[in-house]
């Protein structure tokens, strides 16, 4: 090949190379001379940098660098590195003709002569701005996520490797579990489980469930570093790669101890409300039944007493009538217990010296409980008096001690104690204030949880058929609550029972009044013949009352309502006493008494009632005759009110 042919071939190759380089637009490919001046320029360089070939040929390549990089000598350092090491590669910000910046990947290769001298450089630049921005965005996102996870202190958020080893740890995990990251990373997460859960394989089952189902969730007890336990809500999610390979687990734990406690308190409050509503409903029913039953007993007792008086002394029927009277009296006692439970009994509240009252009951207690039981008393010094009805309190203590005897099978020790207490908040349903706590403790068999929960329910008994009415504790509870206090029971199987009767405390040094001694019935009690207006809406009760009063020698007028009674009074009849029932429709006995006192202030009025159902504005001096009453009770009241 001649020289001319070789020259033509070389020119053709150079043209093809030029066409190739100009066709590449994703890379800036150009040449520098030995000093760094641009000696060639392709279309990609023009697109990246913004310069045309005419504008940049002969200019130093350092103009593509930022001012800071030029001051730092980075262009010269890049050429020197390429000449020394045969190649320079790096990343950095470069500047376009319009002054905008872009992130560039740069490769500089030295071009050497046959003798090895550097005669120039080949420079390739690629615009990686979009990738740089994407990487920066990813980095910022990862940093924000890291800060977010680390900033969460209410949740323990951390990762586990496929074997359950802790691989990272956030501040919430440190706060909740107590471990610093350096103390727990690399350890198995079963360290948070209780020993019994670890022995049962709970950690392994949790990971197996998360692996199989993708998620595990549970509320359970977990342990802190110091060994304390807390209720935790735990979620474990399996983390997998795109091809399904298990990479590890994401674990989130929240301390829900306070929430569980709040839920427990709410559940207890609901149970207490349900119990209170149930007892209130039963109390309403019991009170109504007792009231109606009192009216029936009034008729039965009154009629039997009249029959007994008219029987010949040697009559064979006398024992039968006496038995019937005793049965009716036992029924009256039962209704009193029912009224006590319903908190509708008529209490004579006064300051009561507990030590003196119990001392006065000593003989009664020993006679009722038997010689095999030991009774101990323990009263705090300077004990204030309790505000309650002494008669009802005696009955309540007798009920509690009899229950204690039955629980100990007639042998053991019963301790009756009393102490002063101050309640500062709403504790166990007691209003803030000063109280006297009377307790009866036994060393008997105790009660299980279910029995204890039902112990005060009316008619519930564990003594068997015919051995108890199931109203003893109900009566005690009714007395306590009607007095402004509370009955509290504590018991466990095999550990005995303690019944605490909390009663409002009276002022220190308050005068103590002994319970009045009931006068024996006397047929000689008489007020002389009187004209008495008997008022009752129940015809049977009205007829019985009239018969008893007439048998005492009085003239009796009958009225079936308050309106009828007022009509008789306004007719001008001379009447010495009005004896009226209270619970009547349209006009109650108390309302009738108000009308009578307004028109006839000197006319005595007495209420016959079975429970404390009077409105608050009823005059406290209005005399009452408790139902069911006997003939002697009526005779004493008439004598007292009419000056007999």
What does the pLDDT look like over 589-613, one tens digit per residue?
Answer: 888 999 999 999 999 999 887 655 5
> pLDDT by residue (tens digit) across 277-303?
665 665 565 555 666 666 677 777 777
617-626 own/partner pairs: CB under 8 Å, 24+ apart: 618/590, 618/593, 619/593, 622/590, 622/593, 624/346, 625/579, 626/346
Q: What is the layout of strands, in order, in the sheet containing 229-240?
A: 155-160, 246-255, 229-240, 215-223
Highest mean pLDDT of the ranges 69-73, 477-481, 523-527? 69-73
User: pLDDT digit string (tens) for 498-539?
Assistant: 888 888 988 655 444 444 443 444 444 455 689 999 999 888
Instruction: In whole angstroms, give the CA distance from residue 305 to residue 630.
Output: 8
pLDDT level of residue 615 (50, 70, 90 thresholds): low
Q: 278: helix, coil or strand?
A: helix
Phi and psi angles of residue 170, each rounded to the nearest 5 degrees, phi first: -105, 175
Residue-wise pLDDT tens digits, 124-155: 999 888 887 777 766 665 566 565 556 567 78
pLDDT score of 87 more than 90: yes
Distance of alpha carbon 462 from alpha carbon 59, whole angstroms: 111
Q: How far apart are the C-alpha atoms of 261 and 179, rounded to whole Å?
A: 25
How many Å apart are CA 82 and CA 110, to the nearest integer? Answer: 6
Q: What percentage of the chain exceeds 70 in pLDDT?
A: 76
* Calpha distance 316→312 (Å, rounded): 9
Handedness of CA 261, 265, 270, 275 (dihedral sign): positive
| Continuous H helices in 425-468 | 449-454
* Mean pLDDT, residues 368-383: 79
More confident site: 4 or 63: 63
Q: What tokens were used for 337?
A: 């217990």
Which of 182-196, 249-263, 510-524 has the least mean pLDDT? 510-524
Longest dimension (CA), the chain: 173
pLDDT at 27: 86
The confidence score (pLDDT) of residue 522 equals 44
pLDDT band at 195 (very low <50, low <70, confident <90, very high): very high
Is the whole model's pTM more than 0.75, yes or no? no
Please, how many CA atoms are within 13 Å of residue 319, restricted to the half-sphere of its CB? Answer: 2
Look up residue 244 and give its two tokens: 């399904």
What does the pLDDT read at residue 215?
A: 93
pLDDT band, residue 620 (cuts 50/70/90): confident
Any idea what the Cα angle at residue 129 is, between residues 126 and 135, rounded to 5°?
120
Closest CA to 545 of 611, 640, 623, 637: 637
φ, ψ at 70 (rounded to 5°): -65, -40
List strand residue ranges (DSSP E) for 241-282, in order.
246-255
Q: What H or E segment, with its residue span, contains residue 233?
A: strand 229-240
Domains within the chain, CATH numbers bracketed: 20-133 (3.30.450.20), 152-255 (3.30.450.20), 273-341 (1.10.287.130), 350-504 (3.30.565.10), 531-642 (3.40.50.2300)
Residues 6+ apart with CB under 8 A from 184: 166, 169, 173, 177, 191
- Alpha-carbon distance of 580 to 101, in angstroms, equals 108
- Encode pLDDT of 560-590 as tens digits: 999 999 999 999 888 999 999 887 888 988 8
Q: Quick one: which of 66, 62, 126, 53 has its CA closest to 100?
A: 66
Task: Look at residue 431 in the predicted model and tell me its pLDDT.
Answer: 82
**For residue 450, pLDDT beyond 80:** no
- Which among 95, 98, 79 has a CA at the least distance from the CA of 87? 79
The percent of residues in the chain predicted with pLDDT above 90, rounded, is 30
Rounded CA-CA distance 362/394 in Å is 11
Q: Would you state the pLDDT for residue 55?
A: 92
**List of E strands, 60-135:** 88-95, 101-112, 118-127
- The residues facing 27 across adjacent strands are 126
- Confidence grade of residue 51 (pLDDT, cut at 50, 70, 90): very high
Q: Which residues pair with 435 in a beta bridge?
A: 421, 504
Please say whether the dihedral angle defined by the alpha carbons of residues 461, 466, 467 and 472, taken in this order, is positive or negative: positive
| 636 vs 211: CA distance, rounded Å | 89
Confidence of residue 426 (pLDDT cuts 50, 70, 90): low
């Amino acid at each position: 090949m001649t020289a001319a042919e070789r020259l033509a071939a070389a020119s053709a190759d150079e043209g093809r190379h030029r066409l190739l380089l100009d066709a590449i637009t994703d890379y800036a490919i150009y040449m520098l001379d030995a000093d760094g001046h641009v000696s060639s320029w392709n279309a990609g360089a023009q697109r990246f940098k913004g310069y045309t070939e005419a504008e940049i040929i002969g200019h130093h390549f350092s103009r593509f660098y930022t001012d800071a990089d030029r001051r730092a000598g980075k262009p010269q350092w890049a050429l020197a590195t390429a000449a020394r090491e045969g190649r320079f590669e790096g990343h950095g910000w470069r500047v376009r003709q319009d002054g905008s910046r872009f992130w560039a990947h740069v490769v500089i290769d030295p071009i050497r002569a046959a003798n090895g001298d550097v005669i120039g450089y080949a420079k390739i630049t690629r615009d990686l701005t979009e990738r740089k921005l994407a990487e920066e965005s990813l980095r910022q996102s990862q940093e924000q996520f890291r800060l977010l996870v680390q900033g969460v202190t209410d949740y323990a958020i951390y990762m586990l490797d496929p074997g359950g080893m802790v691989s990272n740890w956030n501040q919430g995990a440190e706060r909740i579990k107590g471990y610093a990251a350096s103390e727990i990373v690399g350890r198995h997460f079963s360290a948070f489980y209780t020993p019994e859960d670890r022995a049962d394989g709970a950690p392994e089952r949790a990971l197996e469930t998360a692996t199989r189902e993708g998620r595990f969730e549970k509320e359970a007890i977990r342990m802190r570093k110091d060994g304390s336990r807390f209720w935790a809500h735990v979620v474990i999610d399996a983390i997998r790669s795109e091809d399904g390979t298990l990479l590890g687990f994401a674990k989130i734990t929240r301390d829900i101890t306070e929430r569980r406690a709040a839920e427990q308190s709410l559940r207890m409050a609901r149970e207490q409300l349900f119990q209170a509503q149930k007892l209130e409903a039963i109390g309403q029913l019991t009170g109504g039944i007792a009231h109606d039953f009192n009216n029936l007993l009034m008729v039965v007792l009154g009629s039997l007493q009249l029959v007994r008086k008219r029987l010949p002394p040697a009559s064979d029927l006398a024992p039968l009538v006496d038995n019937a009277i005793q049965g009716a009296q036992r029924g009256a006692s039962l209704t009193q217990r029912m009224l006590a439970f319903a908190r509708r009994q008529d209490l004579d509240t006064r300051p009561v010296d507990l030590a003196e009252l119990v001392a006065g009951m000593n003989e009664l207690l020993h006679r009722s409980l038997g010689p095999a039981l030991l009774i101990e008393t323990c009263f705090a010094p300077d004990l204030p008096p309790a505000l309650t009805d002494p008669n009802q309190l005696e009955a309540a203590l007798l009920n509690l001690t009899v229950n204690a005897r039955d629980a100990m099978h007639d042998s053991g020790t019963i301790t009756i104690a009393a102490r002063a207490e101050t309640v500062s908040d709403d504790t166990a349903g007691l209003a803030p204030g000063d109280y006297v706590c009377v307790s009866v403790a036994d060393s008997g068999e105790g009660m299980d949880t279910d029995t204890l929960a039902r112990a005060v329910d009316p008619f519930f008994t564990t003594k068997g058929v015919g051995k108890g009415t199931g109203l003893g504790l109900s009566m005690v509870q009714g007395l306590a609550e009607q007095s402004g206090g509370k009955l509290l029971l504590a018991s466990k199987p095999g550990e005995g029972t303690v019944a605490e009767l909390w009663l409002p405390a009276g002022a220190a040094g308050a005068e103590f009044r002994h319970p009045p001694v009931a006068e024996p019935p006397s047929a000689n009690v008489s007020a002389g013949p009187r004209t008495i207006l008997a008022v009752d809406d129940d015809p049977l009760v009205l007829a019985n009352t009239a018969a008893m009063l007439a048998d005492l020698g009085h003239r009796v007028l009958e009225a079936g309502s308050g309106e009828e009674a007022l009509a008789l009074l306004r007719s001008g009849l001379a009447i010495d006493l009005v004896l009226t029932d209270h619970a009547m429709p349209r006009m109650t006995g108390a309302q009738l008494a108000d009308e009578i006192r307004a028109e006839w202030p000197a006319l005595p009025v007495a209420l016959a009632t079975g429970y404390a159902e009077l409105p608050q504005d009823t005059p406290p001096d209005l005399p009452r005759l408790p139902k069911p009453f006997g003939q002697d009770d009526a005779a004493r009241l008439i004598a007292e009110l009419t000056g007999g």
